[in-house]
Structures are given as structure tokens and as C-alpha cells.
């Protein structure tokens, strides 16, 4: 009898693990669908499709997390029904001020709104929240289950593509009429207020447009020229690239991602603020816009994925011995450079 009970217990654990794996596989598939739909400019259903699939991806991920924590995903009074995304969010992110939770609740609200009201001009309004949501999902998937979504999609594709053709408010009013314009304008003002009052990249990634003339054509993100027979002196002939998307990390986030990247390679060390400073000083990275960009409106530095990759590869190439791979308190700069003091004072 005891053997039978133990057998049934083991079978139950196996079935639950299979269910969790199935939820995670479907979650990743929904996430990839959201990215693919939004980054296809020919699809008019981009915003609606993205919100539907990204919310589905989060719901499946959080349900897998709840099950993995030993809890039920079914309603107590309705055991044939699983809990909603809203319930999952509150279950996992218990702090209602958590920026990840607030971002998810905004995306859930947008998904619900999309079922009865959405216009394509709202893409630019909610892009800061959507971009933050994509990065949050990638991080939580790895934190919860040690799964790396970049094994299925290149990290560069995690940047959402925005359509630079933006209509003026007068054009939107003329196109849709007063009632729809008023709804759109209210949602736009509400979104902008949230972004201005909550400068946290896990809630929203601010989008600032900073123009700078460069001599090298290859360094340009916008091309313009003088047309002698044109009606206008300057016109945009290439799609904009937003530096707040290409340089979307702060330095703390860079250190977190680098540490996560190293952990996947069997190196369990923590990158400190001092470590990153010495690396940047050594290679003069802060003067290179490939790695850093100064956002003038917020007077803050943004860091790119290139910086994450550079620091990760620098440490991996060092080929650290086993005894130096498992200390969260290792001074990484001492492992990389012989005289770090000379770097800071050169």
C-alpha cells in the first residue's frame, strides 16, 4: 500500500513537471509571436496582436511559476477554471508598487481596450511600456526557470520597431473625428504622465529624440541633404532609430544582465559598480556612442546591448580557473587587470 502511495506521488510530480514545461513552451511561443507580429510593418493588426500574445505569454509564465511554487492555478470554488492573468500578477508580484507589476497591469488594460478601441497612432504612445515589458519577460523567464529566450531569438530582435511616420493631432482629429480623438488624447496624456512621474525602465523605457550632426555617413541614423529645386531645405529620407531603444539600459541593469550571462556559462560572480567603472575607463567606452549615450532631456546615460556583450565577452575570454568562478564577492577588476589603480588615475 505504501509503495502504491509513493508511486502515485511520483507520478503526480512527473505530470506536474510536464504541465509546467508545456506552459513554458507555449509561453515562449506566444512571446515570439508577439515580437514577430509587432516587428512586421505590413501588418495593420500590430498593436492588438502584440498585446494579445504578450499577455498570453505572461499568463502562461506566471501560471508555471505558481505551480512550481507548489500552489494551485485553479479557483477554489470553480476547480475547472484557472485563474486570470490579473490574479496571477497579484499572486506573483505582491507589491503593488513593483514597476514590473505596474507595467503588466498597463499592458493588461491595453489588451482589454484593444478589443473595442484602438487606432494605429497609439503605437508610439505605448511603445515605452511595450519595450519595457519585452525586456521584463526575458529577465523573469530566466530568473524563474533559468530559460534564456535569446537561445530562440537573437537579442537584437527584442527591440521593437517603431514607425517613424507620426501624424499631428490636427490630422488625427480630422481622420477619426472628435469622439475618438478625445479618447486617444486622454490615453496619450495619461501614458505620458505615468512615464514622467515614474522614471523606472522596468515600467517604461523613455523615448527621447536627440539629433546630432556627424561627419561619417555610416554613423548617421537620419540622412538629409540640400535640394536646390526642392520646396523644403531638409527632409527625412530614412527611418529614425531611437537612442533610448538602442541604449535602453542603465548601468545597474547592465551589471545584472552581464552577471546573468556569466551564470549561464557556469561563472557565478557578481559585477560591481566599481568593476564596470574600471572596465569602461580601461577601454574608454563612455566616449564611444556604440556603448554609451547621454540623453540630454533626462541628463542620464543610456547603455547599449553592445556594452553588455563587450563586458560579457571580456570576462569569458579571461578563461577564469574554477576556484574563481563561484564567488559573488570576487573583485572582478583584479582578475582582469594587473594595475587597476593606474587605470583610474591615468
Nearest to 113 by CA among 177, 190, 52: 52
- Give the model's pLDDT for residue 159: 83
Residues 194 and 304 in one domain: no
- Give the model's pLDDT for residue 250: 85
Q: Is residue 215 part of a domain?
A: no
* Domain span at 295: 243-346
Q: Is residue 262 part of a domain?
A: yes
- Band of the pLDDT at 192, cuts 50, 70, 90? confident
Q: Where is the domain boundary, 205, 232, 256?
A: 205
* pTM for this model (two decimals): 0.62
Residues 301 and 188 in one domain: no
Residues 192 and 263 in one domain: no
Residues 268 and 194 in one domain: no
Residues 51 and 172 in one domain: yes
Q: Where is the domain boundary, 148, 183, 205?
A: 205
Residues 200 and 258 in one domain: no
If phi > 0 it is left, if psi is from -120 to 50 it is alpha, else beta; for residue 299 that is left
Tell me the per-residue pLDDT of 213-271, one tens digit each, with 9 for 90 and over.
666 766 666 665 666 665 555 554 444 566 766 787 888 889 888 888 888 888 888 88
Residues 159 and 53 in one domain: yes
Q: Is residue 329 part of a domain?
A: yes
- Give the model's pLDDT for residue 344: 39
Cell reading at 169: 493631432
Q: Is residue 119 part of a domain?
A: yes
In this predicted structure, the answer to whether residue 2 has a pLDDT above a threshold of 50 is no
* 8 Å CB contact between 159 and 246: yes
What does the longest C-alpha to C-alpha distance in the chain come to?
A: 93
Phi, psi of 285 (to 5 degrees): -75, -30
Task: In whole angstroms, give the CA distance from residue 255 to residue 261.
Answer: 10
Structural domain count of the chain: 2
Residues 201 and 257 in one domain: no
Q: Which of 50-59, 85-94, 125-134, 327-336 has the lowest mean pLDDT?
A: 327-336
Amino acid at each position: 500500500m505504501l509503495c502504491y502511495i509513493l508511486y502515485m506521488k511520483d507520478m503526480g510530480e512527473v505530470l506536474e513537471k510536464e504541465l509546467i514545461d508545456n506552459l513554458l513552451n507555449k509561453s515562449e511561443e506566444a512571446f515570439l509571436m508577439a515580437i514577430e507580429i509587432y516587428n512586421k510593418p505590413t501588418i495593420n493588426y500590430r498593436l492588438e496582436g502584440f498585446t494579445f500574445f504578450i499577455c498570453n505569454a505572461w499568463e502562461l509564465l506566471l501560471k508555471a511559476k505558481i505551480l512550481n511554487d507548489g500552489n494551485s492555478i485553479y479557483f477554489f470554488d470553480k476547480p475547472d477554471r484557472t485563474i486570470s492573468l490579473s490574479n496571477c500578477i497579484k499572486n506573483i508580484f505582491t507589491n503593488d508598487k513593483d514597476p514590473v507589476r505596474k507595467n503588466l497591469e498597463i499592458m493588461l488594460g491595453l489588451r482589454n481596450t484593444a478589443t473595442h478601441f484602438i487606432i494605429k497612432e497609439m503605437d508610439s504612445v505605448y511603445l515605452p511600456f511595450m519595450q519595457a515589458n519585452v525586456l521584463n519577460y526575458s529577465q523573469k523567464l530566466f530568473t524563474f526557470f533559468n530559460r534564456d529566450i535569446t537561445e530562440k531569438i537573437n537579442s537584437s530582435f527584442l527591440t521593437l520597431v517603431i514607425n517613424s511616420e507620426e501624424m499631428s493631432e490636427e490630422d488625427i482629429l480630422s481622420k477619426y473625428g472628435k469622439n475618438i480623438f478625445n479618447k486617444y488624447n486622454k490615453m496619450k496624456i495619461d501614458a505620458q504622465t505615468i512615464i514622467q512621474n515614474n522614471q523606472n525602465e522596468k515600467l517604461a523605457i523613455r523615448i527621447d529624440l536627440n539629433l546630432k550632426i556627424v561627419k561619417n555617413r555610416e554613423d548617421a541614423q537620419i540622412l538629409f541633404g540640400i535640394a536646390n529645386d526642392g520646396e523644403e531645405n531638409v527632409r527625412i529620407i530614412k527611418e529614425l532609430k531611437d537612442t533610448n531603444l538602442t541604449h535602453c539600459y542603465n548601468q545597474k541593469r547592465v551589471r545584472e544582465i552581464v552577471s546573468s550571462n556569466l551564470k549561464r556559462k557556469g561563472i557565478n560572480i557578481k559585477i560591481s559598480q566599481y568593476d564596470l567603472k574600471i572596465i569602461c575607463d580601461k577601454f574608454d567606452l563612455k566616449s564611444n556612442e556604440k556603448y554609451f549615450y547621454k540623453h540630454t532631456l533626462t541628463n542620464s546615460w543610456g547603455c547599449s546591448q553592445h556594452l553588455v556583450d563587450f563586458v560579457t565577452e571580456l570576462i569569458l575570454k579571461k578563461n577564469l580557473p574554477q576556484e574563481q568562478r563561484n564567488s559573488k564577492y570576487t573583485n572582478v577588476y583584479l582578475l582582469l587587470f594587473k594595475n587597476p589603480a593606474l587605470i583610474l588615475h591615468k
